[in-house]
Structure 1
């Protein structure tokens, strides 16, 4: 698979944080002691280290991580899954979206996380590996993540599951409460409610593969996080309390952008780096 670009540039992170915390340009410029002209230039994507570092703290961002992102000095080191895991990156309108498949290699039982714009490649792998798709877990129900749900569920007869806070718009879909537990043969799946970006955003924490892995949807991205004009504080709190407290070697399988790891995000994500 080709190298997947980061979901957000440094100015996307700045704008996302500013909208989320509801800080006006005038207020941010005053707090950071920068001119409105310099602030506007940075928000338009022109790197200026002095301005970037000054505006970071009022936005609750790491100055160093934000500067690193601005100069494109970091890209996550990708973890290796020799078996039982696959990532699919599909084009949806002017962006790409991720979906995932995990399976027990002995029992040949599998679970999908979202469908992406198309599930064709996922279905091809299911057939090639002789898998039985038992579950389709939805991180949330935004259209880009469930665009091919009817086809994937229809062809595999898998159970569709989503948060009770954001039921799937699909006949026969089931809902779970937080901390629900599922098993896919030897693989264990636990649900964590990480809402904010959407009402029922769910992270699925999975153990039994080569690494612990969290399917986080649009809760967190490599070097960024999911935005919300109305519930950004909820997303930020849930990310901190429920994702960033997972084991440090946890892989983060994000809804957009590349795979990353919790240990890397604790150093490189402007929203969460210390």
Structure 2
């Protein structure tokens, strides 16, 4: 099992492609530049089986419809952001992109709760980690010792909470009660910037000290 980090879209949001030996893949947060992502998939002979969204902000969803239609795959999203994909005000594109507002088709599957999610041959433990947004989810993939955390936790930082539905204390609670309970060698596949590990953020992330 391997994964690739591919920065896409106007904010160079990290899209992740997790793929197995059969060259099947789950795609996390295809934020834009669908052509770039499709060329990478073609060049590496990888076929997506699903799109998992950590949340529905515009910079994480820009290429969803293109990838969905090209590969005929389902989209998974937390139920608390069910109507964000089609609402430029809620997904933030109206505020940040102006005339290039983003609207996306409805998700095929709405998620909730702390559960095990099976998608094809892939299995994840799903954690609700709200705070950056109401429906933020983190997907822990034990086989690769990776958590795909979206914009909850970064290398040396945490997600912003000044957007609609953001809650700083709730985000800190999510990080401490969910993410920091994972094994310390777990790789944190962040929505922006470099990857890190749970242990590294426990030791050095200034936002998490004095909690």
Q: Distance in 2 between matches of 1:172 and 1:146?
A: 11
1:110 aligns with 2:45: no
- Pair 1:258 & 2:194 matched: yes
Aligned to 2:124, the other structure's residue is in SS state strand
The alpha-carbon distance between structure 1 residues 182 and 147, as it changes in their structure 2 partners (threshold 3 A), is same
Q: CA RMSD in A?
A: 1.8
Q: Could you tell me the TM-score, scaled by structure 1's length?
A: 0.64
Q: Which residue pairs with 1:101 in the alignment?
A: 17
Q: Separation in 2 of the partners of 1:146 and 1:260?
A: 23
- Give the CA deviation at 1:260: 0.7
- 2-side partners of 1:185 and 1:149: how far apart? 19
* Paired position in structure 2 for 1:267: 203
Deviations 1:193-248 (A, max 9, x none): 10111110010111222xx1011111011101012135111111011100011111
1:132 to 31, 35, 47: 47
Aligned: 1:191 with 2:126: yes
Q: Which residue does 2:2 correspond to in 1?
A: 84
Q: Distance in 2 between matches of 1:192 and 1:131?
A: 27
Matches for 1:1-150 after TM superposition, within 5 Å: 84-92=2-10, 95-105=11-21, 107-150=22-65
Instruction: Determine which of 225, 229, 240 is the counterpart of 2:176.
Output: 240
Q: Which runs of 5+ in 1 are unaligned?
A: 1-82
**Matched residue count:** 187
Q: 3-state SS of the aligned residue for 1:183?
A: strand
- Asked if 1:221 is matched to 2:157, the reply is no
For residue 91 of structure 1, report the CA deviation from its aligned partner: 4.5
More strand by share: 2
Task: Show structure 1 runs of 4+ deviating over 4 A.
Answer: none
State TM-score, norm by structure 2.
0.81
- How far 1:186 moved relative to its partner? 5.0
Residue of structure 2 equivalent to 1:56: none
Query: Could you say which residue in structure 2 is the equivalent of 1:179?
Result: 114
Q: State which of 142, 163, 166 in structure 1 corresponds to 2:78.
A: 163
Instruction: Measure, in 2, the Cα distance between the counterparts of 1:109 and 1:91.
Output: 23
> Structure 1 residue 203 and structure 2 residue 138: aligned?
yes
Shift of 1:189: 1.2
Secondary structure of 1:111 counterpart: strand
Change (3 A) 1:246 1:109: same
User: Are 2:69 and 1:151 equivalent residues in the alignment?
Assistant: no
User: Which structure would you say has the larger RCO, counting Cα contacts within 8 Å and 6 or more residues apart?
Assistant: 1
Distance (whole Å) between structure 2 residues aligned to residue 172 and residue 226 of structure 1: 23
